[in-house]
Amino acid sequence: MSELIHQNTAALVIGGTQGVGEAMAQRLIAEGCRKIVITGRDAEVGEATAQRIGADFMQVDLSDTVAVMKLVDDADAKLGGLNAMAIAGASTERGSILNTSVELYDRMFTINTRSPFFAIQRFAQNAIDAGRPASIVNILTVSAMVGQSFLSPYAASKGALTTITRNAAQALRHNRIRVNGINCGWMDTPGEHKIQRDFHGADDDWLAKAEAAQPMGTLVKTDTVARQASLMLSPASGVMTGAIVDFDQNVVGALPE
């Protein structure tokens, strides 16, 4: 049985209805969290996930920053004061430096950067007003350091969120609000399955082929990222703040042997 490190946690998981966000919500609940709100765009999917894992659901679209800010306030009020927030929602639409439209660029930065920025702002303002220590984890990506050519706006938007993560950690540390991030590598999620089919014409066995080519024979799994996020959100991580953990089997900066 897991140690109940989250028995005093009141958490908001933005993008918590599937994939790594759902896995994080499940891990928090398994480790004692009994006050938790998950969010997503799709009300039907969100309500079903919330019922299955034992969470509350609030609908929001990250493309609407004002609605995201209101949701943070609403979740704070609903749970009697948030002290943990994870941001897992993102858009991974494809686009290169040559073919990305202004509309795609703006949409990606709104979803992946602007809305998370203001979610962090409202979460921190509420915690400071209440005098509560708190913690935040942002799900980032190793692609933020370069990324494939077809992920240009995604890499740029997540690179900006990486800087926001560190900057917020610096700004909020004297308020005892910790902010950390996880740079995820290529991950096995429902969203990735859809992307591989829609954008890359992948066959049904794409995952097996992809995993066979990896150094450790697997893509990153959501439950392992969830364990790392849970630790970062909990008091068990002590004073850790401003950390960006590379969660991948390929070492950034390494060259072929």
Structure tokens at 162: 């990486």
- Residue 42, domain member (yes or no): yes
Tens-digit pLDDT profile for residues 234-245 = 999 999 999 999
- Residue 201, domain member (yes or no): no
- Residue 212, domain member (yes or no): no
- Whether the pLDDT of residue 140 is over 70: the answer is yes
- Residue 256, domain member (yes or no): no
Total domains, the chain: 1
pLDDT at position 2 is 55
Average pLDDT over residues 48-73: 98
pLDDT at position 141 is 96
- Residue 164, domain member (yes or no): yes
pLDDT at position 3 is 80
- Residue 60, domain member (yes or no): yes
- Residue 206, domain member (yes or no): no
**For residues 25 and 36, is the Cβ–Cβ distance under 8 A?**
yes
**For residues 188 and 222, is the Cβ–Cβ distance under 8 A?**
yes
Give 255 or 239, the one with higher predicted confidence. Answer: 239
Average pLDDT over the chain, rounded to an integer:
94
pLDDT at position 160 is 98
Average pLDDT over residues 96-114: 98
- Residue 190, domain member (yes or no): no
Average pLDDT over residues 216-225: 94
Domain span holding position 141: 10-184+222-245
Among the listed residues 246, 8, 15, the one whose alpha carbon sits nearest the alpha carbon of residue 25: 15
Tens-digit pLDDT profile for residues 148-205 = 999 999 999 999 999 999 999 999 999 999 999 999 998 887 777 777 777 777 787 8
As beta bridge partners, residue 137 has 86, 180
pLDDT at position 1 is 41
CATH number at residue 47: 3.40.50.720
The alpha carbon of 249 is separated from its chain's Cα centroid by a whole number of angstroms, namely 19
